Structure 1
Amino acid sequence: MPPQRAGIQSVEVGFSLLGVLGAASGALMLRDLAAAAGMSAAKAHRYLVSFQRLGLVTQDAGSTRYDLGPAALKLGLASLSRLDSVKLARQRLQPLTEQIGQTLALAVWGNQGPTIVHWEESPQAVTVNLRLGDVMPLLSSATGLCFAAFMLNRHASQNRLAALLQDELARTQKLGRKDLPTSMAEATALLDEVRQRGLARVVDTLLPGVAGFCAPVFDADGHLALGMVALGSLATFDPAWDGAVARPLAAAARQLSSDLGFRGA
């Protein structure tokens, strides 16, 4: 354990009140706020008076309830503006790779579609003909399905996404593939399933003998920030929706979304 450095205990105690307000769904009465922070109402009130002077807390004159103030909002916005979602995600890939024993990757939306920006190979890495900067197909890759599902009709790039999806459907029809959607109705049904599960999966569609998952990571505005991807050979990769790969991958994506300020389900 690193050595404990001296601090100001009263600051740490008082911050518990701000933490309770930040986690609450709305303004709180003094008694409820104090109880949640584990202190008496009288003690909590003294801290709240100081926080009000600093603009960290406001009190409604009518209901007497307390809520976060404008100074807290400015601090939160400043912190969010400095977050680098890809950097944060990269920091978490190595321990996740060790946990699930599969190759992981990160993808973001680029000019031509979902683009691979980082790889983290496992000792049992599957050999794939993919490189950093490659754009993933929307219908045959877990990455593409994830981006299509969580960006279509919800994002500034939706017109570009819709056009790419139509082009890919046309190519699929021309190739006569039976394992992929060939109409917008079929694609819509598949994307609905991805949204319902909160996770995209492919098995044998992008590469023979290879399966993959992609979990969405959202920012504070609820927009898709990136996709966390896991892929591997079916000889060692668990493709079950609630299996040894899907569960920790989805959990890591949810935690990163929360750390980026996402407050959704």
Structure 2
Amino acid sequence: MIQAIDRAAKVLELLQGSRHLGITDLATALQLPPSTVHGIVASLREHGLVAKERGGQRYMLGPTLLKLSSVYLDSLDVRARALRWTQDLARRTGMAVRLGAPHFAEVLVIHHVLRPDDSPQMLETGAALPAHASAMGKVLLAYDLGFQRAVFAEPLPSLTGDTVTDASALAAALPTVAEHGFAIETDEAVLGESSLASPVADARGDIVAAVAVVFPSADGPAPDAALHALRDTARNISRELGATAWPPRIAPADD
């Protein structure tokens, strides 16, 4: 690992989530001299990866990251293939739709279709969801043993009173997810929110993403029609990616 790049990446990680931090804050978190951190931040500012707040001495993520994230999303074949199918799923179910891919030990929302009504909503593309407390995460855990190992390597945080934090209990439920081709989550990440997810496979038959419908817990359980529509969508996206069978095979941890 190249030390300078590692340190720069850690600065960006500390600033994620709309956080504004000063050089002293960053130096304390990184356990580095302030002069060293100042040099790292100055280099990141030069490339637009970090910006300094107006009239202050704290720093935040810079606009170049938005450009890079847009390029990354546009390069994802699964996202491109899923666009029309996820839009149709939202129309058929009246629910918001997420498409997520594994990212270290989390699920990265790579596409989000808002609920097709006039209610206030926030676009979630780029958000990271906890794998153990989301339907998409449970699907990815069930079909990708390498992802499962990465997630279970660290303690599972409790987000609500309904979050499953026992890795062995969660692991015991995953074979059923793989058998039926879907997972459900109720109030585990956000109180009042539930989701239902199914896997997306590629031409090799491996899981590459999960697609989910999201709805208020008060409206649950999800009707059978929503589950059928979700499974059809996951199967159609997989077919677009070249999959000849669905659901995916279970990928071993050494893949």
TM-score range, shorter chain: 0.5 to 0.7
**Structure 1 gap ranges (5+):** 1-81, 153-157
Overall identity of the aligned pairs, in %? 24
Which residue among 234, 237, 243 is the counterpart of 1:253?
Answer: 234
RMSD: 2.7
2:89 corresponding residue in structure 1: 96
CA distance, structure 1, for counterparts of residue 216 and residue 165 of structure 2: 26
| CA displacement at 1:207 relative to structure 2 | 1.5
Check the 8 A contact 1:213/1:231 in 2, yes or no.
yes
| CA displacement at 1:168 relative to structure 2 | 3.8
Q: How does 1:55-70 map to 2 (within 5 A)?
A: none
Structure 2 residue identity aligned to 1:179: D
SS in 2 for 1:258: helix
Check the 8 A contact 1:215/1:253 in 2, yes or no.
yes
Q: Deviations over 1:123-142 (max 9, x none)?
A: 34776777322221121111
1:109 matched to 2:102? The reply is yes
Check the 8 A contact 2:162/2:187 in 1, yes or no.
no
Q: How many residues align?
A: 172
Which residue among 175, 183, 190 is the counterpart of 1:200?
Answer: 183
Specify the structure having the higher radius of gyration (Cα). 1
Check the 8 A contact 2:161/2:188 in 1, yes or no.
no
Check the 8 A contact 1:112/1:135 in 2, yes or no.
no
| CA displacement at 1:263 relative to structure 2 | 2.1
CA distance, structure 1, for counterparts of residue 231 and residue 106 of structure 2: 22
Question: Structure 1 221/246 Cα, relative in aligned 2: closer, same or farther at 3 Å?
Answer: same
What TM-score results when the alignment is normalised by the length of structure 1? Answer: 0.57
What TM-score results when the alignment is normalised by the length of structure 2? Answer: 0.59
1:165 matched to 2:148? The reply is no
CA distance, structure 2, for counterparts of residue 246 and residue 117 of structure 1: 21
| CA displacement at 1:83 relative to structure 2 | 9.1
Q: Deviations over 1:72-129 (max 9, x none)?
A: xxxxxxxxxx992210101222222111100011111224532001111123477677
